Amino acid sequence: MNKAFSIKKRFLGMYKAANAGHVGCSLSVAEIITFVRFNWMNDNDEIILSKGHAAASIYSMLAEEGILSEDDIKTFYKNNTYLAAHPPVNKIKRVPFATGSLGHGLSIAAGLGLAQKLKKSDKKVFCITSDGEINEGSTWEAALFIAHHNLKNVVWLVDRNRLQGFGPTEDVMKLEPLDKKLEAFGFNVIIAEGHNFTSLEEAKNKALKSDIPTAIICNTTKGRSWKLYEGKLDSHYLPMKDDHYDVILAEVEIDYNTQISKL
Amino acid sequence: MRVEFADSMIKFADTHPQMVFITGDLGYMALEKVQHKFGGKFINAGVAEQNMVTVGAALAHEGFIPWLYSISPFVTLRPYEQIRNDACLHDLPVKLVGNGGGYGYGIMGATHHNIEDIGALRLLPNMRVYVPFTASDVEQSIEQMLADPHPNYLRLNQGAKIKYEVAPFSQWRKIKSGTKGTVVGTGPVVENICNLDIAADLEIWVVSIFPINNVPLELIESINATQKLVTIEEHSGECGLRETLSYHIMNHLHGPIKMLALSAGGYPSGKYGDQKFHQAENNLGGEGLHQQLQSFL
Q: Which helix (H) or strand (E) holds A216?
A: strand A214-219
DSSP A20: -
- Which chain B residue's Cα is nearest to A145? B45
Q: Report the alpha-carbon distance of residue B19 to residue A231 in Å, rounded.
A: 47
* Same-domain check for residues B290 and B144: no
* Same-domain check for residues B69 and B152: yes
CATH number for the domain harbouring residue B46: 3.40.50.970
Is B240 part of any domain? yes
The reported pLDDT for the residue numbered A261 is: 87
DSSP B83: I
Q: Is a pLDDT exceeding 90 seen at residue A38?
A: yes
Q: Check if A137 contacts B (Cβ < 8 Å).
A: yes
Q: Check if A84 contacts B (Cβ < 8 Å).
A: no
Q: Which residues contact A191 (CB under 8 A, 6 or more apart)?
A: A179, A216, A217, A219
* Same-domain check for residues B181 and B210: yes
Is B150 part of any domain? yes
Sort B274 into a burial class: Cβ within 10 Å, 0-12 / 13-18 / 19+: middle
Q: Check if B86 contacts A (Cβ < 8 Å).
A: yes
CATH number for the domain harbouring residue A158: 3.40.50.970
Q: Check if A141 contacts B (Cβ < 8 Å).
A: yes
Q: Report the alpha-carbon distance of residue B135 to residue B158 in Å, rounded.
A: 7
CB B160 within 8 A of CB B190: yes
- Which chain B residue's Cα is nearest to A105? B54
Q: Check if A114 contacts B (Cβ < 8 Å).
A: yes
CB A252 within 8 A of CB A192: no
Buried/exposed code over B73-91 (b: 16+ C-beta within 10 A; e: otherwise): bbbbbbbeebbbbbbbbbb
* Same-domain check for residues B210 and B292: yes
Taking CA atoms, B192 is separated from B65, B183, B276, in Å, by: 35, 12, 10
Q: E strands of chain B, at which residues?
A: 19-23, 42-44, 65-71, 95-99, 128-130, 152-156, 172-176, 181-186, 202-207, 209-210, 228-233, 258-262
CB contact under 8 A, B57 and A111: yes
* Same-domain check for residues B24 and B90: yes
Q: Is a pLDDT exceeding 90 seen at residue A91?
A: no
Q: Report the alpha-carbon distance of residue A97 to residue A202 in Å, rounded.
A: 29
> Of B111, B128, B156, which closes a domain?
B156
* Same-domain check for residues B116 and B238: no
CB A110 within 8 A of CB A31: no
* Same-domain check for residues B252 and B203: yes
CATH number for the domain harbouring residue B211: 3.40.50.920
Q: What is the mean pLDDT of residues A106-130?
A: 98
* Same-domain check for residues B89 and B218: no
Sort A71 into a burial class: Cβ within 10 Å, 0-12 / 13-18 / 19+: exposed
Q: Which domain range does residue A225 map to?
A: 2-261
Q: Check if B85 contacts A (Cβ < 8 Å).
A: yes
Counting the structural domains of chain A, the total is: 1
> Of B110, B131, B156, which closes a domain?
B156
* Same-domain check for residues B207 and B241: yes
Strand, helix or coil at B61?
A: helix
Counting the structural domains of chain B, the total is: 2
* Same-domain check for residues B121 and B221: no
Residues of chain B in contact with residue A103, where contact means CB-CB under 8 angstroms, are 50
> Of B156, B185, B204, which closes a domain?
B156
CA-wise closest residue to B70 among B136, B137, B128, B5: B5
CB contact under 8 A, B54 and A110: yes
Is B180 part of any domain? yes
The model's pTM = 0.95
Sort B26 into a burial class: Cβ within 10 Å, 0-12 / 13-18 / 19+: middle
Q: Check if B179 contacts A (Cβ < 8 Å).
A: no
CB B143 within 8 A of CB B196: no
CA geometry: angle B231, B124, B47, nearest 5 deg? 100
Q: Which helix (H) or strand (E) holds A236?
A: helix A234-237
Q: Report the alpha-carbon distance of residue B49 to residue B45 in Å, rounded.
A: 8
Residue B76, strand partner residues: none
The reported pLDDT for the residue numbered B213 is: 84
Q: What is the mean pLDDT of residues A170-192?
A: 98
- Which chain B residue's Cα is nearest to A112? B58
Digits of tens for pLDDT over chain B (297 positions)?
Answer: 999 999 999 999 999 999 999 999 999 999 999 999 999 999 999 999 999 999 999 999 999 999 999 999 999 999 999 999 999 999 999 999 999 999 999 999 999 999 999 999 999 999 999 999 999 999 999 999 999 999 999 999 999 999 999 999 999 999 999 999 999 999 999 999 999 999 999 999 999 999 998 899 999 999 999 999 999 999 999 999 999 999 999 999 998 999 999 999 999 999 999 999 999 999 999 999 999 999 999
Question: Which residues in chain B (126-155) have CB-CB distances under 8 A to chain A?
Answer: none
Distance (Å) from the C-alpha of residue B97 to the closest C-alpha of chain A?
18
Q: Which domain range does residue B216 map to?
A: 172-296
Distance (Å) from the C-alpha of residue B18 to the closest C-alpha of chain A?
10
Q: Check if B218 contacts A (Cβ < 8 Å).
A: no
- Sheet with B258-262, side-by-side order of all strands: B172-176, B202-207, B181-186, B228-233, B258-262
Q: Report the alpha-carbon distance of residue B244 to residue A181 in Å, rounded.
A: 48
Q: Report the alpha-carbon distance of residue B75 to residue B59 in Å, rounded.
A: 17
